[in-house]
Amino acid sequence: MPCYYENMFTGIIEEIGTVKSFLKEKNGARLEINANIVLQDIKLGDSISVNGVCQTVTEIKNSSFCVMISDETLTVTTFNNLKNGDYLNLERALTLNTRLGGHIVSGHVDCRGKLVRKEQLSDFYNLYFEIPEDYTKYIVYKGSVTINGISLTVAQINDKILKIAVIPHTFENTNLKYLNTGEVVNIETDILAKYVENLLKLNDNNVKNNISMEFLAENGFV
């Protein structure tokens, strides 16, 4: 099941888990994940980011945990194509004493993207993703984006192609290293961009507020 109360994540992956079982059910699916680190202090009802999707823990075992996935989540994310042995990025929800090493991530996936090119430069990698055109407006050069739950910096955005420069540590400690050209990923854009967009819209009385693109530029926001 999805999270029914607001949680936040940082996009800093704690470990790579694997799919132990994935069973389709009448109103969704049951997913069991092999894990180690995230099992250390979780409880039933806790939230965990699974490949960037905020999920609620429904069962805990010795070396795995279970979540229930809704039909809506199956439709919006890459979960519908999961199979046993697949690698999953895992992160526990942010706490008040956690360092915010990445950026604010909600675990609410906006869309899916597709890896169209993987370029190796020594130990570094450039990854190119094609994303739906409707979501490119939320992507800015050197801004933040979440791919499969990983907080990443935008190296370039050109039409529908998003370029990410990945350092060796991130590549080796996430499931990006297992990602092949043509595979689909979960994308969450920066929530701050959505708030700015909402502020620029007309309010309920069809009267414009005092915030405009000119106001944002004059005050150093854009």
Same fold, 15-92 and 111-189: yes
Cβ within 8 Å of residue 214, ≥6 positions away: none
pLDDT at position 144: 93
User: Residue 219: how many CB atoms within 10 A of its CB?
Assistant: 9
Domain boundaries, the chain: 15-92, 111-189, 190-222
Q: Contact 157/123 with Cβ under 8 angstroms?
A: no
pLDDT at position 198: 76
Tokens 């942010």, residue located: 94
Check if CATH label 2.40.50.150 holds for domain 111-189: no
Domain range 15-92, CATH class: mainly beta
pLDDT at position 3: 58
pLDDT tens digit at each of 222 positions of the chain? 555 446 789 999 999 999 999 999 988 999 999 999 999 999 999 999 999 999 999 999 999 999 999 999 999 999 999 999 999 999 999 876 777 777 888 899 999 999 999 999 988 999 999 999 999 999 999 999 999 999 999 999 999 999 999 999 999 999 999 999 999 999 999 888 787 777 777 554 455 556 666 766 676 665
